[in-house]
């Protein structure tokens, strides 16, 4: 999940406006952070908005002459991996190897965890992450913090989350003050 320094994942205006992320998302620390996350995952879990947005962005990276190798590798992984989209309004999958499910988040995650496979990676879908955090069902929390204040908008960490301890598993600072942070839930 990408966060601003003041704790927001989108600004106060248009929730689809992610222009504030772009100068920092192309840094080495952000790209390396993403690569380490998807390498062990066999399933991508997304909300409808992210799934539709990711199709437009990531599929166009594959085969692009000036694409960073890490971006292209992620795009290929995303294209080829099993994807589950949580949606009550989407009728047709936006890409191959995709299942659309209209069930509560926790029920879907239970089903995925009971199936064979590797890690389940939730890709920047705040509604899914927030539901899992509220139910204390997140094992690893990966954040990229960008040095910008958005001045408002929704926050990832709402009041009322269950108390819990997290251990810093990995940290890296990069260009422009970008931070890559990975925390594991201590149980």
Q: DSSP letters along 48-89, please?
A: HHHHHHHHHHHTTTTT-TT--HHHHHHHHHHHHSEEEEE-SS
The pLDDT tens digits of the residues spanning 32-71 come to 988 898 988 999 999 998 888 887 788 888 999 999 999 9
Reading the block at residue 106, the tokens are 């926790």
Dihedral of the alpha carbons of 33, 38, 44, 48, in degrees to the nearest 10? 30
The pLDDT tens digits of the residues spanning 62-98 come to 999 999 999 999 999 999 999 999 999 998 988 889 9
The pLDDT assigned to 18 comes to: 79
- The CATH T-level fold of domain 2-186 is Dihydrofolate Reductase, subunit A (3.40.430)
The pLDDT assigned to 153 comes to: 93
Cut 0.85: pTM above it? yes
More confident residue, 129 or 53: 129
């Amino acid at each position: 999940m990408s966060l601003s320094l003041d704790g927001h994942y989108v600004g106060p205006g248009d929730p689809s406006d992610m222009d504030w992320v772009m100068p920092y998302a192309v840094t080495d620390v952000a790209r390396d952070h993403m690569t380490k996350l998807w390498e062990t995952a066999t399933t991508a879990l997304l909300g409808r908005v992210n799934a539709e947005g990711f199709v437009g962005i990531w599929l166009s990276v594959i085969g692009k002459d000036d694409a960073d190798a890490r971006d292209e590798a992620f795009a290929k992984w995303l294209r080829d991996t099993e994807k589950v989209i949580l949606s009550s309004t989407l009728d047709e999958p936006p890409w191959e190897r995709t299942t659309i499910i209209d069930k509560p988040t926790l029920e879907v995650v239970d089903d995925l965890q009971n199936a064979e496979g590797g890690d389940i990676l939730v890709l920047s879908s705040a509604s899914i992450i927030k539901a899992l955090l509220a139910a204390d069902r997140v094992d690893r929390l990966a954040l990229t913090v960008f040095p910008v204040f958005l001045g408002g908008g929704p926050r990832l960490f709402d009041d009322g989350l269950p108390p819990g301890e997290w251990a810093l598993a990995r940290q890296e600072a990069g260009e422009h003050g970008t931070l890559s942070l990975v925390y594991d839930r201590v149980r």
